[in-house]
Chain A
Amino acid sequence: MEMFWQTTIAGLETGSLYALAALGLVLIFRTSDIINFAQGDMAMFSTFVAFTLFNYTGSYPVAFIGALVFAAIFGFLMERVFIRPASKANLVSKMIITLGMIMIVGGLAGAVFGTDSLYFRKALLADNITLGGIVVQPNALFIISLTLVIMAVLFYVINRTKVGIAIRATAQNENTARLMGIPVLRIYSLSWIIATVLGATAGILVAPTTNVSINMMAEIHLKSFIATVLGGFNSFIGPVVGGFILGVLDNMVGLYISLKWKTVIVYGLLIIILIVKPTGLFGQVHRKKV
């Protein structure tokens, strides 16, 4: 039973990382109708920045915050340089552009930071706590609570503030939003900035387990897509819940079935969702108008 609870906590830990990345995906998708396939690589690049900053300054908070500031600028620039010039292009072209961004950002990271796998410290270094036979890492608790705080703030912003109304309006209908005087272009920039910062946060938090390397985000990136499909592309809360569910499930499969075949089994889950409920747990059926 201890193993079960320990795995659940580990699952919530990875799940919160999936949730952060998935929320980034959905934020960009809903506001600007783009699937950002480069999110994982952008997060990887930001994590390398955090790692480099930590090596120079030796202070973890400075590295963390510095990397998030970098991520904000990075997301803003990527949107300006790659996405905005192609705003009139169709969906497939925009997807191709973000796929090209994978090659550019991923390649640049290799050229600038090298292809080694580097160790990066945890956010909290305190000793493990034992609660009734269950070993809990303070770092895991930190990751889960940080994610919950970020989510709470973001959902407050999305649901209660003027900016949030603008984001939701843009998500619902861009043209109407524009007619209502919402600066749609600024909302695009904002959603890219928030999404990149969310991705970078996930990257920095996962770095101790995966090490900092070019491929560090591969797993989170794929799982964040699966989480988004699971939760539904048409809701903000869905991908977050999907992320947590997937994280726990992922670890359970690893514990009870097979660690080797985990990725394949979780992929099977994606296929099952696509068969049974392609709109996701929280999504409504989306009728396309002609």
Chain B
Amino acid sequence: MKHLQSKPVQYVLLGLVFSVIPYIIPIPQSTMTILNTVVIYAMIALGFNILLGYAGQISLGHAAFMGLGAYLSAYLTGKLALPFLLSLLLSGLIPMLIGIMLGLIALRLEGHYLAIATLGFGVAVQQIFVEWLAFTNGYSGVRAKYPSIFGFEFRSRESFFVLAIAVLVLLCIFAYNLLKAKTGRAILAMRDSVSAAQAMGINIYKYKLVAFALSAFYAGIAGSMYMHLIRFTEPTQWGIGLSLNLLAMVVIGGLASIGGSIVGSVFLVLAPEIIKEVPGLADIKNLSYILTGATMVLAIMFFPHGLARLGMQWRSYLSKRKKNAAVNI
């Protein structure tokens, strides 16, 4: 029973449970697509959370990294006919390398320079997606094949769900182990106080770079998975809107929390679907976008630990009230 206490084991078990559910309870295809999207956004949110929640840096260019992963994966499996797993890995590694180059430049400076540099990066990369026809086919977009591993094709949404969850669980375990180890402690120390961390001999620049590179890697992986799920992509998807939604996922779900990243992606993907079903609300344009922004602002102001830790925050609030009551007597 002791093993159940370990987080990685919990992740694997939860993953198993969720991946079996669609085989037991029949779920309509469209809902399965939405669930698959949730899992894919959870991957990128996880990476984004390492950057924002743990390292305290804002990026507005992660949609570009994800788009890069998507296009790369389409190119590698299509034109170069590489196996899916290899192209998945490469689609993570190449955005990571670009992330490292960008980080080397922007992370030397104060926090807001990364936000500005990545804002520009997002716009510039989107422009490249539009103009570099040989690689992206411009607005006409590119298509990709079903993913296949050792001859098995993940054609059905249910089987893709198993694959996506497997990737997500691996990414979760990697993130967990990393954050529990030396690197994670250094990153956390850095977020809480840069000066104190520096005094302890932590190389701020190096760890910011590690966090940024990892988040770009996660984004690329998510992009590749997305490409093989939807099997079509075009440039307009990978704009600033997606980057803002990613930010909202992490802030609403819970900063510096692996579970929070997943809760956030569930919230962000499902909320618009639920609004669509409510009569009257569906007619208002952009409603889910507005509400997402408002929820993000409210989250920062009133529940900075996010939905995932709302219970914890409530308990600590109650215990504080009790203490105060005791003092008053």
Distance A97 CA – B115 CA, assembled complex (angstroms)? 14
CA of A290 to CA of B52, assembled, Å: 23
Question: Please, how many angstroms separate the alpha-carbon atoms of A183 and B160 in the complex?
Answer: 60
Q: How far is the CA of A126 from the CA of B108 in the complex (A)?
A: 50
Nearest CB in chain B to that of A91: its residue: B111
Chain B 28-64 interface residues, beta-carbon cutoff 8 Å to A: 52, 56-58, 60
Q: What residues of A have a CB within 8 angstroms of the CB of B123 in the complex?
A: 218, 222, 263, 267
Residues A111 and B112 in contact, CB atoms below 8 Å apart: no
Q: A103 in the interface, Cβ–Cβ < 8 Å?
A: yes
Cβ–Cβ < 8 Å partners of B15 in chain A: none
Please give the number of chain B residues whose Cβ is less than 8 angstroms from any Cβ of chain A in the complex: 45
* Closest A residue by C-beta to B287: A111
Q: Which residues of B contact A106 (CB under 8 A)?
A: 286, 289
Complex Cα distance, B286 from A269, in Å, reads 34
Whether A115 sits at the interface, judged by CB under 8 Å, is yes
- Is there an interface contact between A115 and B120, defined as CB atoms closer than 8 Å? no
Q: Are A103 and B120 in contact (CB under 8 A)?
A: no
User: Distance (Å) between the CB of B115 and the closest chain A CB?
Assistant: 6
The 8 Å CB contact of A271, one of B52, B117, B304, is B117
- A99 to nearest B CB, angstroms? 6
Residues of A within 8 A of B (CB): 35, 37, 82, 85-86, 89, 91-93, 95-97, 99-104, 106-108, 110-111, 114-115, 218, 222, 225-226, 229, 260-261, 263-264, 267-268, 270-271, 274-275, 278, 286, 288, 290
Give every chain A residue within 8 A of B108 (Cβ-Cβ): 278
Say whether B109 faces chain A, with CB atoms less than 8 Å apart.
Answer: yes
- Identify A104's interface contact among B58, B293, B300, CB under 8 A: B293
Contacts of B105 in A (CB 8 A): 271, 274-275
Asked whether, in the complex, the Cβ of B113 is within 8 Å of the Cβ of A99, the reply is: no
Q: Quick check: A261 and B247 within 8 Å, CB to CB?
A: no
Q: Is the CB of B112 within 8 A of A267?
A: no
Pairwise interchain contact B286-A274, C-beta atoms closer than 8 A: no
Structural contact, A92 and B111, CB atoms closer than 8 A:
yes
Q: Are B300 and A110 in contact (CB under 8 A)?
A: no
Nearest Cβ distance between residue A272 and chain B, in whole angstroms?
A: 9
A-B contact count (CB 8 A): 126
Question: A35 touching B304 by the CB < 8 A rule?
Answer: no
A100–B112 touching, CB < 8 Å = no
A37: B residues at CB distance < 8 A = 60, 115, 119
A278, B292: Cα distance in complex, Å: 34
6 cross-chain pairs, A with B, having the tightest CB-CB distances, nearest first: A103-B293, A107-B290, A107-B286, A267-B124, A100-B297, A107-B289
Q: Which residue of B lies closest to A90 (CB)?
A: B56
0/1 per residue, B270-286, Cβ < 8 Å to A?
Answer: 00000000000000111
Pairwise interchain contact B121-A267, C-beta atoms closer than 8 A: yes
Contact B120 A225 (CB under 8 A): yes
Residue of A nearest to B288 (CB): A107
Q: Which of A35, A96, A101 contacts B247 (CB 8 A)?
A: A96
